[in-house]
Structure 1
């Protein structure tokens, strides 16, 4: 009996062992999941990609994307999958939530990073946030309201609800927006949803370009992406990349974002 009690006490004393890619890391009534790179020694600090799911998504669903998991692991990075409290993120001007300021989600993200970096060997200076669809909306809001939390932000197929904020918090963030050129779910100009409207991607980019003092764009093409790259005198990045197609996600877009930031010395 004493041996069983000691084992139980030991398990309670090591909460890091109780969560990971297949088990929730509890944060009060919220949670997240994390996958360290394969073969990680448990002590060497590694960079991280934080991924926000789309509408009705989950941290578990993100971790079930084996292609994403394998890619991030091969990059030597941790994958942190965050989870909304209900079906969707509570963001300004979102459906039936026009009067919220988003602080509940921003505070949750603060808590996730603090908790993950205390449980796991995470280099908080080498973190990038990304997300698809509603997760892209979450990513844009984080870039505006918590810009110093991540070295770069890659919103995919999602922007602000209704309209871009009048102003953002400093410092200026590094942002790469990726979007399909024929997206019917989140069109570039947005569409009505319930009692609100999706925002216009170009308006968001124009707002941030003015806010960050970004100059004219330069064209750059990859195999799948047609990009318009901007920078400012401080060397910050604001890129807009389109792919042919609709509302779809490829893991390679996440890698493209990380490698772009890394190649510019941001990570």
Structure 2
């Protein structure tokens, strides 16, 4: 009885996503399993060969909470994207859900897990295996940076929001990479300059220092951006350093949050990349 009630509640949550096809794999609505863990998925009207945005939740979040963000999910599915939201592991086995990156390990090869999720979704729903973006917020954004650093070819592009590396940050990363860094100018949880946590045991890194690592990975010849502009309240910088080697920084007037219109911003950026591929 309890399982039936939980299933009905989950179904009601996904029914709230009007216009979004929240797909399931049996059991809890919208929840699928791949080697290494579980994920949730919302599909556009046409799932066949649909590009994929895999969005990683923040510390203490969940894949199901990502799909409850209507602005994010509907903004992407309207553009023809499938949205995949994997589940992080519980920190130390019983704590909040998060990801294994940098100074934090979760006992799972996150890159292998994400690859398994992409393959499972492609097999079940026909989503694209190549037009893929790994995005994430906060702890999810940290994970995006570390995977892109280790294996830039794992996804076609990367789109972290409100997160970079932890110190000591990687001295160098593999490349080239396509990366869209979005960050709130007044973020106090993950400040642009970083901060010290855990009584000095941990230190969030500086976003601008991370960008320097990415420019080196992309073989950029100058730290100066190729284009600098502002539009619609956003401060933007772009470095074009060769094929598949593009970096963009977008700063918005806000704190530790996913900014309004991020889905459309990210889709425009990714589609511009595909157009010049």
**Shift of the alpha carbon at 1:24?**
1.5
Residue from 196, 217, 224 that aligns with 1:192 = 196
Determine whether 1:203 maps to 2:198: no
Asked whether the equivalents of residues 20 and 34 of structure 1 are also in contact (C-alpha less than 8 Å), the reply is no
Specify the alignment match of 1:237 in structure 2.
246
With normalisation by structure 2, the TM-score equals: 0.81
In the alignment, is residue 142 of structure 1 matched against residue 147 of structure 2?
yes
The answer on whether the counterparts of 1:163 and 1:200 sit within 8 Å (CA) in structure 2 is: no
**1:89 equivalent in structure 2:** 99
Match of 1:46 in 2: 50
Say which SS state the counterpart of residue 261 (structure 2) adopts. helix
Q: Which residue does the alignment assign to 1:213? A: 219
1:164 deviates by 2.5
2:165 corresponds to which residue?
160
Cα separation, 2, equivalents of 1:261 and 1:60? 24
Q: Which of 202, 225, 247 lines up with 2:234 in the alignment? A: 225
Contact 1:152–1:266 (Cα < 8 Å) also in 2: no
CA distance in 1, matches of 2:25, 2:244: 41
- Report the more deviating stretch, 242-251 or 203-212: 242-251
Paired residues in the alignment total: 243
1:79 maps to: 83
Which of residues 79, 95, 104 in structure 1 aligns to 2:109? 104
Corresponding residue for residue 133 of structure 1: 138
RMSD, aligned CA = 2.2
Structure 1, unaligned runs of 5 or more:
1-15
> Counterpart of 2:259?
250
- SS of the residue aligned with 2:152? coil
Residue pairs, 1:19-58, within 5 angstroms: 22-28=29-35, 30-37=37-44, 39-40=45-46, 44-58=48-62
SS in 2 for 1:153: strand
